[in-house]
Amino acid sequence: APWVPVVGLEIHAQISSNSKLFSGSQVQFAAPPNSLVSFFDASLPGTLPVLNRRCVEAAVMTGLALNCSINKKSLFDRKHYFYADLPAGYQITQQRVPIAVNGSLSYSLCIDNKMSQMVTKTVRIKQIQLEQDSGKSLHDDTRSQTLVDLNRAGVGLMEVVMEPDMCCGEEAAAAVRELQLILQTLGSSQAVMAEGQLRVDANVSVHHPGEPYGVRTEVKNINSIRFLAKAIDYEIQRQIEELENGGTILNETRAFDSKLGCTVPMRDKEGQQDYRFMPEPNLPPLILYDAKSLPANMNHQQVINIDWIHERLPDLPSVKRKKLVEQYGILPEHSFTLLNEDGLAGFFESVVKQTQMKPKKVIGWILKDLLSYLKQHSLTVKESPVSSFLLADLLNLLEKKEISSTAAKQVLAELWKGEGKTPLEIVKEQKLELLQDQKELEQICQAVIDGHENEVIMMVLG
């Protein structure tokens, strides 16, 4: 009987803000340990949380971008557990009524690994909640001690819960990639996984069609989108094998080991814990307004107007892609690649502006030639030794038929060295000019024919 894998995701995105969710200490990556810790972050007795407006706006923007209903009244709760990186012994989160619910995210996949066929899928967003990040603890087993750094304790997080509408690693990866792009476009999170700004936990289970969902495991410790796909696919396989061998799946938390490429049971950190949720008594309900409900005499500094935020949302990736396709006549899958690479879309548009070559032709140079060079040398678009100006210059030469496309590729290779030469200079240096003179061409052809008499006779005879 076939197996149906079911994949849901819990994504924690660190909010891009100057200060933390409930205190004024700074948010900064890789600062000296315990240098960004306020009295509240250290849980000094008597300190109280004060909600950061920017964090709320970030969550509202994200909720709107994900087609959620924004709850005009949401609540804060305490989630209790003891751990070295949680100074208060509880995390402030939104368990009862989160800030946004019932949204959706559309993402696209290539079918069969060909870039030519893309299919659009949707995953439901269950909710988005605001919550505190924890500090970091580093276990030093040799000295039997744990080192605690509270810089990250209290940083604002948006937890985005994606319903189990996905079926495999590829879908999950594509969904997360799209979410990442959306967050970066909004500016609500920088969402760089390597810096811990985007953390993804996967919930995986398998079942036979028509039967109830199977027991699910939670997979953590995934550090990149690539590993996300790998971890999920491994876990699906593991569960299927386990069940086919008559075993059972435990409702447990497993860590992805990127070196071995497999998931392993985690030390029971949370297990079957009872978090003893309780309303956070020091924070009144969070009330948001829209144009209709906004009281007339309210100081606009004191409130958040959902409609005002909605009006100012930037073009989301899906809209940007559509515009690129419409404006430049490129294929949808091209627009995906353009947006997937930071700065590439801008580079493309810049080249198009500076050349007579049709965008449909330019795109090939961007996606095949330029991008492969960048990938080969692990460079970002920003770091490209070939600027849009230089590339446009080169493409103009090609367009005016002053060089062949083969020659153009040679020139590009030379430009890549970044020695400061212009395309024209390289063409002259390497004598790559296309001959335009008809008479000269005839002379060359005649010379070749004259030089290969035997071959010519053979050809004429058939």
Q: Phi-psi region for residue 191, left (φ > 0), alpha (ψ -120 to 50) or beta?
A: left
Alpha helices in 151-254 (DSSP H): 169-186, 225-244
Spatial CA neighbour of 72 closest among 281, 282, 292: 292
Of 4, 51, 115, 161, the residue at the interface with other proteins (CB under 8 A) is 51
Of 2, 45, 295, 420, the residue at the interface with other proteins (CB under 8 A) is 45
Distance CA 274, CA 2 (A): 36
Binding segment for other proteins (CB under 8 A), chosen from 56-64, 78-86, 259-267, 329-337, is 78-86
89 vs 314 by CB, closer to other proteins: 89
Report phi then psi at 48, rounded to 5. -130, 150
Q: Residue 279 CB, nearest distance to other proteins (Å)? A: 8
Q: Does 287 interact with other proteins (rule: CB under 8 A)?
A: no
Q: Residue 59 CB, nearest distance to other proteins (Å)? A: 18
76 vs 234 by CB, closer to other proteins: 76
Cβ neighbours for 337, distance < 8 A, ≥ 6 positions apart: 115, 344, 367, 371
Q: Residue 253 CB, nearest distance to other proteins (Å)? A: 18
Q: Does 42 interact with other proteins (rule: CB under 8 A)?
A: yes
Burial 409-438 (b: 16+ CB within 10 A, else e): bbbbebbbeeeebebbebbeeeebeeeeee
Q: What would the two tokens of residue 276 be? A: 């003893």
Q: What does DSSP say about strands 73-74 and 286-287: parallel, antiparallel, or unpaired?
A: antiparallel
86 vs 198 by CB, closer to other proteins: 86
286 vs 392 by CB, closer to other proteins: 286
DSSP string over 269-327: SSTT-----EE-TTS--EE-B-TTT--TT--TTT--BHHHHHHTPPPPHHHHHHHHHHH
Amino acid of residue 10: E
The DSSP element (H or E) to which 176 belongs, if any, is helix 169-186
Asked whether the beta carbons of 156 and 14 are under 8 A apart, the reply is yes
Burial 391-400 (b: 16+ CB within 10 A, else e): bbbbbbbbbe
Q: Residue 58 CB, nearest distance to other proteins (Å)? A: 19
Of 4, 26, 47, 258, the residue at the interface with other proteins (CB under 8 A) is 47
Q: What would the two tokens of residue 361 be? A: 């032709």
Q: Does 20 interact with other proteins (rule: CB under 8 A)?
A: no
Token pair 């335009």: residue: 436
90 vs 328 by CB, closer to other proteins: 90
161 vs 283 by CB, closer to other proteins: 283
47 vs 354 by CB, closer to other proteins: 47
Q: Residue 97 CB, nearest distance to other proteins (Å)? A: 15
Q: Residue 334 CB, nearest distance to other proteins (Å)? A: 50
Q: What would the two tokens of residue 240 be? A: 């299927």
Q: What would the two tokens of residue 81 be? A: 């557990």
List the x/- string, 200-219, binding to other proteins by CB under 8 A: --------------------
Q: Does 49 interact with other proteins (rule: CB under 8 A)?
A: yes
CA separation, residue 215 to residues 112, 129, 231, 249, 378 (Å): 30, 25, 17, 6, 41
Distance CA 208, CA 364 (A): 44
The total of other beta-carbon atoms located within 10 Å of residue 15's CB is 26
Distance CA 110, CA 46 (A): 55
280 vs 393 by CB, closer to other proteins: 280
Binding segment for other proteins (CB under 8 A), chosen from 5-13, 82-90, 287-295, 379-387, is 82-90
Distance CA 367, CA 238 (A): 37
Q: Residue 150 CB, nearest distance to other proteins (Å)? A: 8
79 vs 321 by CB, closer to other proteins: 79
Of 78, 199, 216, 321, the residue at the interface with other proteins (CB under 8 A) is 78
Q: Phi-psi region for residue 308, left (φ > 0), alpha (ψ -120 to 50) or beta?
A: alpha
272 vs 378 by CB, closer to other proteins: 272
Q: Does 310 interact with other proteins (rule: CB under 8 A)?
A: no
| Residues 125-164 interacting with other proteins (rule: CB under 8 A) | 144, 146, 148
Q: Residue 202 CB, nearest distance to other proteins (Å)? A: 25
| Residues 255-284 interacting with other proteins (rule: CB under 8 A) | 274, 276-278, 281-284
Q: Residue 89 CB, nearest distance to other proteins (Å)? A: 3
Amino acid of residue 47: T
Q: How many residues at the interface with other proteins, by CB under 8 A?
A: 30
List the x/- string, 84-113, binding to other proteins by CB under 8 A: x--xxxx-----------------------
86 vs 306 by CB, closer to other proteins: 86
Contact residues for other proteins (CB under 8 A)?
39, 42-51, 78, 80, 82, 84, 87-90, 144, 146, 148, 274, 276-278, 281-284
